[in-house]
Amino acid sequence: MAKVALITGITGQDGSYLSELLLQKGYVVHGIIRRSSVFTTERVEHLYQDRHDSDVRFRLHYGDLLDAMCLRRILSEVKPDEVYNLAAQSHVRTSFDQPIYTAEVVGIGTLNLLEAIRDYRDSTGCEVRFYQAASSEMFGKAAEVPQRETTPFYPRSPYACAKVHAFWQTVNYREAYGLFACNGILFNHESPRRGETFVTRKITRAATRIKLGLQDKLYLGNLDARRDWGFAGDYVLAMWLMLQQEKPDDYVVATGQSHSVREFLAEAFRCLGLDGEGRVEFDPRYLRPTEVDVLQGDATKAERQLGWRPKVTMQELCRMMVDADMRLAQRERTLVDAGHDATPRDNEAARNHVSSAPAAPKEAPASRTGKRGSASGARSK
Ligand code: NAP
Ligand code: GDD
């Protein structure tokens, strides 16, 4: 019988790649989506199946991590073998503006799900394996470089504090109730489907638009921060591998290489043969009250125990994102030249970068980061 997976955060970057991976492996995939006044399913649209079709292996359910009752109902209906908790208010800068909401979704939301799984298991006798999307942000003001599973946490944002809470709740459910529960401590991972307010995508989107004359400048914050950037498509495999082991455990997932924002920026401009001089300006709005200066992971344990290794370097990742965003910018340019609104409505470009998987999804309408005078603080973090 096909295995059944339930994914929270299925409409996000990782949710879309994980869905593709699990479908390729023959799973039936269920996802939880939030009701919204606009469509939020662009990243998984290509996976949608009409419920009237036979052999439907991809289904979406309305729900929310903050709605504990609906989580219970969905679990009873779906009867999952594996649950991947990817849902989060995942933007670090935003978490300083919305600390309580972030703590509720990331911290209490995870607890709601763990409780629901425990009760479901105890009442039905059905075992459920649980993956928690933990984060390298938890290392924060890191005690050592590189960071590994034994590095102490020193969170530097409301988001990271909430992820630490969720991390320990996951460990505690494993130890107290014998739940098969794992934390994947994932370092930054990006893709052409990355949200446009995260720095890599903000850069590749802006650089390609600048190249085609659609935008003049790019406004950024701290260029000296260093991150360990990998490809999201590689990282979802590590999530799955964690749940296939004999015993549950926690793992760092990273490339082991760290680069500054400045280096990523230079790489993006280099890919386009662009001179960045006069194009990039500092905007203090993008600084955080407390910054995480250096993240660099040591994924030795994941390699040894899971057999997992990253395949894509930062330079290859940047090229992949620039190429996808260039296709988007070209569409915008064509529209502008024809006298139409330049605002892109979808992201055909992202469709073409996945080789083995089904076509990639549309990207959410872009925030016009760096477009003079139009970038609102809320949309351009
Ligand atoms: P993302 O693109 O921001 O996606 C977040 C997802 O969570 C979206 O599907 C969003 O739904 C959903 N969501 C938000 N609040 C929710 C709620 N209250 N109830 C149910 N769903 C909710 O994030 P990502 O980059 O894919 O990351 C996936 C997970 O890994 C997150 O937990 C993130 O914190 C963690 N993580 C990410 C990275 C990284 O570098 N990407 C690194 C370490 C850890 P909508 O579409 O409706 O907004
Ligand atoms: N977003 C953003 N916008 N970041 C900027 C900017 C800007 O204009 N300018 C400089 N930065 C710097 C930030 O200060 C940070 O040091 C770095 O770029 C990366 O920022 P983000 O891309 O927003 O990612 P993050 O590292 O804060 O958080 C991401 O990775 C975490 C894992 O370490 C998110 O995906 C989190 O959900 C994830 O847990």
Ligand 2 centroid–CA 56 distance in Å is 37
Closest residue CA from atom 12 of ligand 2: 222
Phi and psi torsions of 5, nearest 5°: -120, 145
Name the average pLDDT for the chain. Answer: 91
Ligand 1 atom nearest to 34, measured from its CA: 47
Ligand 1 centroid–CA 55 distance in Å is 28
Helices (H), 243-288: 261-271
Closest residue CA from atom 34 of ligand 1: 90
Rounded to an integer, what distance in angstroms lies between the CA atom of residue 5 and that of residue 124?
A: 17
pLDDT at 321 over 50: yes
Compute how many other C-beta atoms are within 10 angstroms of the C-beta atom of residue 81.
Answer: 18
What does the pLDDT read at residue 72? 98
pLDDT cut 90: percent of the chain above it: 87
- My answer on whether omega of the bond before 146 falls inside 30° of 0, hence cis, is yes
Q: What is the mean pLDDT of residues 282-307?
A: 98
Least confident of 153-157, 240-244, 318-322, 346-350: 346-350
Q: What is the mean pLDDT of residues 306-333?
A: 98
- DSSP state letter for 297: B
Split at pLDDT 50, 70, 90, the class of 344 is low
CB of residue 170 inside a 6 A radius of ligand 1: no
Q: What is the mean pLDDT of residues 216-240?
A: 98
Bridge partners of residue 131, in order along the sequence: 84, 182
CB of residue 261 inside a 6 A radius of ligand 2: yes
Split at pLDDT 50, 70, 90, the class of 91 is very high
Q: Model pTM?
A: 0.93
Closest Cα partner for 275 from 284, 265, 283?
Answer: 265
CA torsion angle 129 134 139 140 (round to 10) = -170
Q: Tokens representing 62?
A: 């309305």
Sheet of 58-62, strand order: 58-62, 28-33, 4-8, 82-85, 129-135, 180-186, 250-253
pLDDT at 348 over 50: no
Ligand 1 pocket test, candidate residues 10, 14, 255, most atoms within 8 A of CB: 14
Residues 6+ apart with CB under 8 A from 243: 82, 129, 131, 180, 182
Strands (E) across the chain are located at 4-8, 28-33, 58-62, 82-85, 129-135, 180-186, 189-190, 218-220, 226-227, 230-231, 250-253, 259-260, 280-282
Phi and psi torsions of 324, nearest 5°: -65, -40
What does the pLDDT read at residue 19? 98
Set 16, 19, 135, 136: catalytic member: 135
Set 20, 42, 82, 137: catalytic member: 137
* Contact yes or no for 198/277 (Cβ under 8 A): no
Handedness of CA 133, 107, 261, 376 (dihedral sign): positive
Phi and psi torsions of 364, nearest 5°: -60, 150
What does the pLDDT read at residue 341? 80
- DSSP state letter for 164: H
What does the pLDDT read at residue 343? 63
Q: Encode pLDDT of 120-131 as tens digits.
A: 999 999 999 999
